[in-house]
Amino acid sequence: MVDNCSPDSVARSVREYEGVTRKRGIGELIECLRINDQPNVVASFGEDAAVIRQDDNALLLAADGIWSKLMEADPFWAGYCAVLVNVHDIAAMGGTPLAMVDVLSFTSSTLRNEVTRGMQAASKQFCVPIVGGHLHPDTPYSVIDVAILGTVKMDDVIYSSTAEAGDRVVAAVDLDGRVHPSCILNWDSVTMKSAETVRKQIGVMQELARRHLVTAGKDISNPGVIGTLGMLLEVSKKGAAIDLDKIPRPDLGAHSITFEHWVRMYPGMGFILTCRDENTAEVCRLFEEAGMTARAIGEVNDSSSLSVSYRGVTTSVFDLRQEGIMRIIDGAKIV
């Protein structure tokens, strides 16, 4: 049970969290880049990876960057996360990651060595090679960006935009970890695990895709579990009601963190999914077999509002009809 939990306080902390507010510029940027009528592009903006049709298969293409503040705090962890978040993007779509390229800018060779050491460690652990990229050896700043290519059968793709009213919301997180010593908003459940363990956890998403057990999914990213669900609902044009007490969490006291802190954390391995009621138990079982904790935490509805409740008290976190998190727009309207 969550102690001293206020739905209003949790909602406010999520809305104001930088991991959420930093997403607001996405919609405006998309309007500058969007090109319509691309017949082989099945899905793009708003998904964890673009879906490009290639006969009966889909190529999954994604890219992710790492906050400069993390580069400064811990370049090894920044390099590791640059690989980790990209692997998660492909996994969230039900895909198999194939290879990555990187763009690295650095101010010192010491920082470069630590970043690349972290990248190599994650690349080896997840068995996804880094095969090229671009180097800026003389910049006044340090940044690491990675792009990744994956593949999945066209009929098996897991989208973010396909949740339906009545679906269960499932959160799956590996709770066997620690608050990362260099970043208090990162939950590290991966660096201490074997390659076999993390690949098995990624493999759950591939099995869910093959068996068509989920209706939508995303990896839990910087906005945390509630913020990530909000992003999924935004592109699905749906709402949801969730019970805060059902969100998987470690022993918060043992890790000296509050519940409000936990729901804003980026987990080393975590996914938010929607599925039909009859598939919920099987979805949770597959994650549990891989060493993760998975629970149904709520239900999708047609309200376009994400609300949270605790002990009979309910409050709205996001009114996605009025103002989206990413503010992805179609014409003049938020979608």
**Residues 273, 143 within the same domain:** no
Q: Within the chain, what is the greatest distance between any pair of CA atoms? A: 57
Beta bridge partners of 63: 147
Question: Helix H segments across 149-270?
Answer: 195-211, 224-236, 259-262
Res 130: pLDDT: 97
CB burial of residue 32 (10 Å; 0-12, 13-18, 19+): exposed
Res 298: pLDDT: 98
What is this structure's pTM? Answer: 0.91
The domain in which residue 130 lies consists of: 49-153
**Residues 214, 91 within the same domain:** no
Strand, helix or coil at 241? strand
Is position 331 within any domain?
Answer: no
Which position has the token pair 């972290």?
118
**Residues 149, 269 within the same domain:** no
Q: pLDDT (tens digit, 9 = 90+) per residue, 167-223?
A: 999 999 999 999 999 999 999 999 999 999 999 999 999 999 999 999 999 999 989
Is position 141 within any domain?
Answer: yes
**Residues 294, 258 within the same domain:** yes
**Residues 149, 229 within the same domain:** no
CA distances 326 to 88, 178, 200, 320, Å, are 19, 29, 31, 10
Is position 101 within any domain?
Answer: yes
**Residues 149, 163 within the same domain:** no
Beta bridge partners of 333: 330
Summarize the confidence of residues 120-126 as an average pLDDT.
Answer: 98
Q: Supply the DSSP symbol for 220.
A: -
Distance between CA 133 and CA 106 in Å, rounded? Answer: 14
